[in-house]
Amino acid sequence: MNQRTLILIKPDGLKRRLSGNIIQKLENKGLNIVALKLVKVTEEMAKRHYSVHENKPFFNDLVRYITSDPVVAMIMEGKNAIAVVRNLVGATDGSKAAPGTIRGDYSISIDKNIIHASDSEESYNHEGPIFFNANEIYPFSYGDENLF
Ligand code: CMP
């Protein structure tokens, strides 16, 4: 099933200059970038994006962190993209994420965990429009869809 997923390289990932490595890993797997930009997330965007966590004790810290510096926002597309990306991203807590995953290789904490990716189609439908308008998404049609 062809799917899209929203990916954010969080401020720690961008500032540690990991964006290229992360994008490379996702592209190597066979996922296609269909939208990409730097975004300074506003408090309003952050509260909407993380609304499922609004009653959690870490909610205010989460909003403060994601709004602190720019993020790389991307939509990637591919077969089972949501599950495929979540597997590549690894467990939420970097100290527990498996080696070889993005968080497993680059993060040792639960808050500065490098990357966010949609965890379901419902999440993508909620998060995607917070970061991208429909006219900023370019359906993948480079002519090599059958390489993978
Ligand atoms: P993310 O995938 O962006 O989605 C919610 C975020 O909450 C998660 O990554 C973590 O970075 C962050 N977070 C901070 N503290 C906690 C916690 N105690 N439990 C779960 N998530 C946390």
Q: Which atom of ligand 1 is nearest to the CA of 111?
A: 11
Q: What predicted TM-score, i.e. pTM, was given to this entire model?
A: 0.94
Q: What is the pLDDT of residues 112-142, one digit of tens each?
A: 999 999 999 999 999 999 999 999 999 877 6
Q: Which of 137, 116, 136 is nearest to 52 (CA)?
A: 116
- Evaluated on CA atoms 52, 117, 111, 70, the torsion sign reads negative
Topology annotation, domain 2-41+71-136 = Alpha-Beta Plaits (3.30.70)
Query: Is residue 49 annotated as part of the catalytic site, yes or no?
Result: no
Q: What is the pLDDT of residues 28-87, one digit of tens each?
A: 999 999 999 999 999 999 999 999 999 999 999 999 999 999 999 999 999 999 999 999
Q: Which atom of ligand 1 is nearest to the CA of 112?
A: 11
Task: Give the separation between CA 143 and CA 27, rounded to whole angstroms.
Answer: 16
Report helix, strand or coil for 134.
helix
CA of 50 to the centre of ligand 1 (A): 9
Residues 6 or more apart in contact with residue 8 via CB below 8 angstroms: 66, 71, 72, 73, 74, 115, 116, 117, 131
